[in-house]
Amino acid sequence: MIQLIQNKQDYNNDLRAMLMAFFPGKKIVEKMSEGQTVELVMCVHYENNVTNLSLDTEDGFRARRTLDMDYQIRERFRNTLKMAAYELLCELTGRKLPWGDLTGVRPTKIAMKQLRDGAGIDGAVKHYMKEYGVSEKKARLGALVAEREISLTSDFDFERDYCLYIGIPFCPSRCLYCSFTSYPIAAYRDKAKLYIERLKEEISVVKDMLHGKRRLVSIYIGGGTPTSISHELLDELLSHVETVFDLTYLKEYTVEAGRPDSFTEAKLKVLKAHGVTRISINPQTMNDATLEKIGRAHTSAQTEEAFSLARKCGFDNINMDIIAGLPGEDIGSMEHTLKKLKELGPESITVHSLAIKRAANLNRQMDEFAGEIHRDTDRMLDAVGGVAASLNMEPYYLYRQKNIGGNLENVGYALPGMECLYNILIMEELTDIIALGAGASTKLTFHKENRVERVENCKSVDDYIDRLDEMLDRKRKQFP
């Protein structure tokens, strides 16, 4: 257990994130209860222009830093404090983190600003390393991704263009690591039709809210697993989308076919008939023992069959998601997965470092799996990068999550021209994301004010069905 003592809470989230980066899964408390023992105490005292930071452990480690800076000037002080905490934790643990003191979701924003200010790739790399303690390897990855993102979004009108996200919150089964809004389709099959009816209603009303000359540039249908629903319902939904929205300016249309056990030839033909340009087939791993452990109700052979079926149906832009650091897997496991993916030859590969989410079953079963996860994760990421390069893919988007294994990252690799623009636009918060369905979160960007407003939908399928009018009212109040 870790105790974090502060006389002010201004930077509480930053310090907690730093502690969790070094000690994932450790409980962090402010006050100790009777009978509790603590392994580490971090104490921060803010006083006018002097801040004192200390670390003490039960086995006698002691380290101190004094910061001569006004803590109320947040823009200057925040990273100074984070770097001081990072250096003390490096001293305590004897290790450095690949992303240094960066704990945010979007580290590429830093490089994008540097590049737009004329620093160049090498300048952006040096800035990462000097200001944030980022390793040269990760700094160069971040700078290269930022350069690619700027290039791919250069012809967008960020004030006028928008993306549409549609959520289908059903899955064949719930995976061990999943924290998304997801309900077993077998139990909700009778409600799926009613859900689609309400979703169509939200689609129609929201289209009327989008005043002015807006341009829909990307549609992304995710979940859950959208292909969990029947091909008839899928056809009904996609027909409504193309009836309601102007697709003249659409640059891409993605559907997460996702689980190989969720789609059929009939469903793939529906997607193709409605102009879907990109699908994801997400094995997460090609090791059957791991698939069984994490609750995936399919085999690696089914993944290969699903891929072949998608090719047969004419899909020439297929993404495959994999996860580094799954329970029981090591570098050899990842090399096997990559060998299989290379044989299939997708147009893009997205690798996620395993994140232990609060709502996931994995978090609740950590005692069972703690010794099996986060092994060789950074080596796995390197292996993915190597195979992606051998397939002529380039890294084009990057983001991070809370409680991510090894304080690492998620990276999307794609053949030139096969990138998912939606992934860039949502991660870098460049355009409005109009999100529909249970658990969907609309993000409205106000570039002049440098802020983003969220409009959340209910997560529960039942609440979404019963309270749609309430969610539409939320949107009416927030939409410009």
Higher local confidence (pLDDT), 303 or 180: 303
Query: What average pLDDT does this structure show over 76-91?
Result: 96
Among 168-177, 225-234, 409-418, 462-471, the least confident range: 168-177
Residues 134 and 166 in one domain: no
Range of the domain at 386: 161-473
For residue 356, pLDDT beyond 60: no
For residue 74, pLDDT beyond 80: yes
pLDDT score at 358: 45
Residues 139 and 165 in one domain: no
Report yes or no on 478 lying in a domain.
Answer: no
Tokens of 436: 């529909």
For residue 431, pLDDT beyond 50: yes
For residue 212, pLDDT beyond 90: no
pLDDT score at 371: 53
End residue of a domain, out of 100, 125, 152: 152
Report yes or no on 403 lying in a domain.
Answer: yes
pLDDT score at 369: 47
Report yes or no on 51 lying in a domain.
Answer: yes
Residues 281 and 364 in one domain: yes
Report yes or no on 98 lying in a domain.
Answer: no
pLDDT score at 33: 79
Residues 409 and 429 in one domain: yes
Residues 199 and 294 in one domain: yes
Residues 47 and 145 in one domain: no
> Which CATH number does the domain housing residue 58 bear?
3.30.160
For residue 176, pLDDT beyond 90: no
Residues 141 and 181 in one domain: no
Report yes or no on 270 lying in a domain.
Answer: yes
Residues 138 and 231 in one domain: no
For residue 389, pLDDT beyond 90: yes
End residue of a domain, out of 67, 92, 117: 92
Name the residue among 410, 434, 404 with its Cα closest to residue 422. Answer: 434
What mean pLDDT value characterizes the chain?
Answer: 90
For residue 362, pLDDT beyond 80: no
For residue 301, pLDDT beyond 90: yes
Residues 191 and 315 in one domain: yes
pLDDT score at 364: 41
Among 112-126, 231-245, 248-262, 415-429, the least confident range: 248-262
Residues 134 and 239 in one domain: no
| % of the chain beyond a pLDDT of 70 | 93
Residues 78 and 146 in one domain: no
For residue 271, pLDDT beyond 90: yes
Residues 66 and 171 in one domain: no
CB 199 within 8 A of CB 166: yes
Report yes or no on 102 lying in a domain.
Answer: no
For residue 188, pLDDT beyond 80: no
For residue 231, pLDDT beyond 50: yes
pLDDT score at 180: 52
> Which CATH number does the domain housing residue 386 bear?
3.80.30.20
- The pTM for the full model equals 0.91
Among 55-64, 171-180, 353-362, 365-374, the least confident range: 365-374
Q: How many domains does the chain have?
A: 3
Among 39-43, 119-123, 177-181, 468-472, the least confident range: 177-181
Report yes or no on 338 lying in a domain.
Answer: yes
CB 457 within 8 A of CB 187: no
Give residues with Cβ within 8 angstroms of 206, minimum separation 6.
434, 436, 472, 475
Report yes or no on 369 lying in a domain.
Answer: yes
